[in-house]
Amino acid sequence: MASSSSSKKIHFDTTDDELTEHEEEEPEVEHFDDFTVASSWERFISEIEAVLRVWMSNAPNNLLEKGAVLLEDSGNLYKVKSEMKYAMKSYCMEFYFKTDPDVDAGKLADWNFDLHDLQLCFGVKEFLVIAPQSASGVVLDAPEASKLLSAVAIALSNCSSLWPAFVPVHDPSRKAYIGIQSMGTVFTRRFEADRIGSQVSIKLMHLEGLYELFVSKFAYSTMDLSVHNFKVRFAMKLTFRTLPYDDDNMKVAKISKSGESTDEMSNGMQWDDDCSWSEWYSAEDPVKGFELIAIWSEKMVESSMEMAELENASPHEAEKWLISLRLEEGSSGSGNPVGFASQLRFLVDALQMSFEAQFMEDFVSVENSGSDNIKSAMVVPSPTVRDRVLKELFIDGVQFSDFADSGHKTSRAIKGAPLVSLFAQFCLHSLWFGNCNIRAIAVLWIEFVREVRWCWEESQLLPRMPTNGSIDLSTCLINQKLQMLAICIERKCQMNEDYQDCIGSLDQIDSMSEDESVVGDDSFNIQTPSDDFSGKVDRKLEDVHLSNDKETSDLTRRGSAGIVDSMMLLKSHQSMHAPYTQEAPLMTEDMHEERLKAVEAFGDSFNFSAQLEKDILTSDMSAFKAANPDAIFEDFIRWHSPGDWEEYDDPEESKSSSSSALDIKKSKDSWPPQGRLSKRMSEHGNLWRKLWNSAPALPASEQKPLLDPNREGEKVLHYLETLQPHELLEQMVCTAFRAAADTLNQTSYGELKQMETEMQQLYLTMTSALRPLQVNRLSGDSETIEDLRRLTGTHERVEKLFTLAASLHRKLLKAPRLSREIFSDYYNFYVQTTAKGFTEDIGEKEFDKKHEVRDLEREVLSNMFVLPTANQSWRKVLSMGNLLNGHEPIVREIIFSLRDKVNNGNHYAAPSGSVSQQEIQTYRMYICGTSNDLRVSLSVVSCD
């Protein structure tokens, strides 16, 4: 052997010609050859070893920085990979690891749902997988698979690594693997997994046969065929699946008004028949069923007889129950779902097109419309459908209910119409009329206005509208106008009734004596005031004071609502009477704006606004004079405008703190009261005094009404008939969004804080997005239109959550805790997914969170598994046992295992050392599948 000093030196920058020349000049001498990388096989092992050393030298956190990715559906399992070549083939080696390995330092949980498939099959933690980069991703040639696994095993041994390595083999559908792992001692663990398809024998369908299969594997590996009875560790997991809820035998939990539920067979009834949106559409049930997992924890089994008894055990005997939700796969990906959100999109499109015409009639006549979009495929429903919609809107007997109870407390910030109002119902019907295109809306609106005019001309009350109270200025203008019209119809009806009563009683009044007429007038004075009477009247009638004030002037008193406590007339020394007064004339928002414009135009001069105030003031003065015949101007000021009556400071009075019934008598004794008119009322030429002097003494019942119902009613109809299309559509959009949200909010979904927050946020978002519509300055290409389209997406998101919440609430009404936890987990999953910017379907099938079922809740879930029908009886033919109300498990998973100490004298025992005291899992078999599809994974520890 030559020394290194005599060996030939070759420089990296030497050319081939130079190298040949040197070889010819110098004689060949003996030197060292590096045989470690002499062959391609050795170079392949060396390449694998280099990659393994890099992975081993990096901590998990460093691997994350170098490109490791988190596996889907795994809690804390990451993957890093490297590509390499051997014999003209490309391979990919993947290393699976966890960032917190100390958490699983003990025994690996058998039924941890975050485990990778190989972890569950073989009970490993960190592991390697090497596979060819091909379409199948598996090694089809058995010698190649063995050689590939040997290369990885040698590399792992050179690195002193204990990672198990796996190679996928056979057909990909079989999920077959072979694997190997060094145990760090003389022991080696070998792995093998394969699938048995239709060749499953009847014996392997039952627990007894599977037990004997495991025992036979143990006996074969130990060459001890006499071994039959020994202690085997056994654990089992069964998965049951409810029948689809759209089957004929579906049970529906009907929720009564009292909040109780009753389980009824469907009989063709939809799941959401008692939901608030069912009046407008039927939603597809997002919950397709539940998966129930029954788990038997690890226990010792000594014979096949015990396995036979376990097969007959009820799932109720399992130590743990888990439930998971099955959702519709791709529910939002299959077309556009029918719901409020989809129809609101059409309404926004109609709003954009409404700027193309001047009047609604222009959209009805296709010849007069210049838009090709309007002339094309905008279908108008038949007159029969239109008449049915109008009949539902103007149905007899449907009157107004309290607006305050018809929507969310925040919805009043949206300038629309209350949910129960006539215009809100018109908007909701329009969403489904002709798919809410602009032509269909125009046809329905024209017929709607005609029906409103018929109610006016025939003095028929408007349905769904209040006939008393003030105009709600927080609603849209159309709703205000309809409310004004309903009040005008009511007033007109009262005027007609009063006129008929007057004619019918004319002869009787003429025959009455003067005394009788006075008595009849007194009967009017003591009637109980209505709730909407002016606050200036004390509604308590004091009979004692009335009896003390009987004088001649009382014979002419009219329109009195009762005396005012502690107040007396300055001139006649009598108790002051509060009169019945007319209500202030009702005004809509545009009427108020007209008044403000008049004030701005005319200043303080006598204008429209001042004329209205004058009429109201004169009416009040006339009523006060009729109720107090001996009153003077100062008396009226003391009652109507107390701030304009200045009392003198009296130190004697300020010392008294008594407010007993003697105050009235005391005020009479200290007559007249010490005070005077304010400077404003005492000025020369004061308008109020002029009106007082000219006002006649007439009770409110005899005065000309401040509101002319005939004139105001015709003005309302003129507004409705000449309303521009875009003004109508702007108010329809606001009202439809508000009414749709209010309808959803009426759904019963249990105590879900998330939905309360979502609903509150939806109203705030709608308020902000719909605010530009109130300005009435939009155009067809306005950016607000795009904002409204985005708003429909927000509405769809909330509507989707509402549908799921309602479905869970009905199905788990008797297990509210489970309903809340399932929805909360789905909500968090939904929010996290959408927060990443995904606008498409989030893939509900990936949501598989498991929830533990408490003992008291097991009966509720068990009742979901109704007995199979006749067409499902085939399920019992190949039954695996452990039935739940006639249902066999869709998947059965079993783990058999044996543990032993290495120093117990068996064939693979170590002679000595601390490792001899370690208990290891020598045999493990994982079995998963059904009666005709079985997958078996086996790991065996041996001494090679």
Whether 229 contacts 873, CB under 8 Å: no
Look at residue 223 in the predicted model and tell me its pLDDT: 54
Interval 855-875: pLDDT, tens: 999 999 999 888 776 665 554
Alpha helices in 722-815 (DSSP H): 725-745, 753-770, 783-811
State the pLDDT at residue 38.
67
In three-state secondary structure terms, 345 is: helix
Pairing of strands 176-182, 187-196: antiparallel
Q: Three-state DSSP class for 740?
A: helix
Residue 518 pLDDT exceeds 50: no
Tokens of 626: 């009729």
Cα angle for residues 534, 538, 544 (degrees, 5° grid): 150
**Residue 308: Cβ-neighbour burial (10 angstroms; 0-12, 13-18, 19+):** middle
Give the CA radius of gyration of the chain. 45
Q: How far is CA 804 from CA 284, 797, 820, 863, in A?
A: 10, 11, 11, 21
**CA dihedral angle for residue 582, residue 583, residue 587, residue 592, rounded to 10 degrees:** 90
Report the run of H or E that residue 86 belongs to, with start and end: strand 77-86
Select, from the ranges 24-28, 514-518, 581-585, 822-826, the one with the highest average predicted confidence (pLDDT): 822-826
Q: Provide, rounded to the nearest whole percent, the portion of the chain with pLDDT above 90.
A: 38
For residue 172, pLDDT over 80 is answered with: yes
**Per mean pLDDT, which range of 204-218, 298-312, 742-756, 925-939 is the poorest?**
204-218
pLDDT of the residue at 643: 86
The CA distance from 630 to 554, in Å, is 9
Instruction: Tell me what pLDDT residue 401 has.
Output: 56
**What is the spatial distance between Cα 158 and Cα 154, in angstroms, rounded to a whole number?**
6
User: Is 791 within 8 Å of 340 (Cβ atoms)?
Assistant: no
Q: Report the range of poorest mean pLDDT among 400-404, 630-634, 732-736.
A: 400-404
Strand ranges for 573-696 from DSSP E: 575-579, 645-647, 675-677
Question: Is residue 289 a contact partner of residue 241, using CB atoms and an 8 Å limit?
Answer: yes
Whether 163 shows a pLDDT value over 60: the answer reads yes
Whether 152 shows a pLDDT value over 90: the answer reads yes
Spell 157-172 as b/e; 16+ CB within 10 A means b.
eebebebbbbbbbbee
Cα 516 to Cα 511, 522, 606: the distances in Å are 10, 10, 44
User: How far is the C-alpha of 402 from the C-alpha of 404, rounded, in Å?
Assistant: 5
Can you spell out the DSSP letters for 16-77? HHHHHHHHHHSPP-------TTSSHHHHHHHHHHHHHHHHHHS-HHHHHHTT-EEPTT-SSE
Phi, psi of 786 (to 5 degrees): -70, -35
* Highest mean pLDDT out of 28-32, 404-408, 619-623: 619-623
For residue 275, give both structure tokens: 């939901």
Least Cα distance to 89 among 151, 34, 171 occurs for 151
Q: Are strands 187-196 and 933-943 parallel, antiparallel or unpaired?
A: antiparallel
Q: How confident is the model at residue 649 (pLDDT cuts 50, 70, 90)?
A: low
> Is residue 419 classed exposed, middle or buried when 0-12, 13-18 and 19+ CB atoms within 10 A define those classes?
buried
pLDDT(36) > 80: no
39-53, 438-452, 605-619: which range is least confident on average? 605-619
Of the candidate ranges 21-35, 396-410, 860-874, the one whose mean pLDDT is the lowest:
21-35
CB atoms within 10 A of CB 58: 15
Question: 793-818, pLDDT tens digit by residue?
Answer: 999 999 999 999 999 999 999 999 99
Tell me the pairing of strands 320-327 and 287-301: antiparallel
CA 250, CA 266: separation in Å to the nearest integer?
A: 6
Task: Say which residues have a Cβ less than 8 Å from residue 318's Cβ, sequence separation at least 6.
Answer: 238, 294, 295, 296
pLDDT winner (highest mean) among 395-399, 661-665, 828-832: 828-832
Whether the bond between 672 and the residue before it is cis, its omega within 30 degrees of 0, is yes
Q: How many other C-beta atoms can be found within 10 angstroms of the C-beta atom of residue 365? A: 12
Which CA distances in Å does 126 have to 70, 99, 164?
14, 11, 7
β-strands 165-169, 127-132: how paired?
parallel
CA dihedral of 60, 66, 72, 77, whole degrees rounded to 10: -10
Domain spans in the chain, listed from the N-terminal domain onward: 37-196, 204-251+271-327+855-905+917-943, 340-371+386-494+724-832, 560-646+675-698
721-746: average pLDDT: 94
SS3 310: helix
Query: Which residues on adjacent β-strands are paired with residue 253?
Result: 263
Task: Identify whether the C-beta of residue 647 lies closer than 8 Å to the C-beta of residue 617.
Answer: no
Residue 224: pLDDT above 60?
Answer: no
> What is the C-alpha to C-alpha distance for residues 541 and 509, in angstroms, rounded to an integer?
28
To the nearest 5 percent, what fractions of the chain are helix, strand and coil?
45, 15, 40
Mean pLDDT (the chain) is 78
Helix (H) or strand (E) holding 91: strand 89-98
Q: Which two tokens stand for residue 510?
A: 């003429």
Q: What is the mean pLDDT of residues 777-790?
A: 82
Residue by residue, what is the 3-state secondary structure of 41-53?
HHHHHHHHHHHHH
CA pair distance 368, 6, nearest whole angstrom: 107
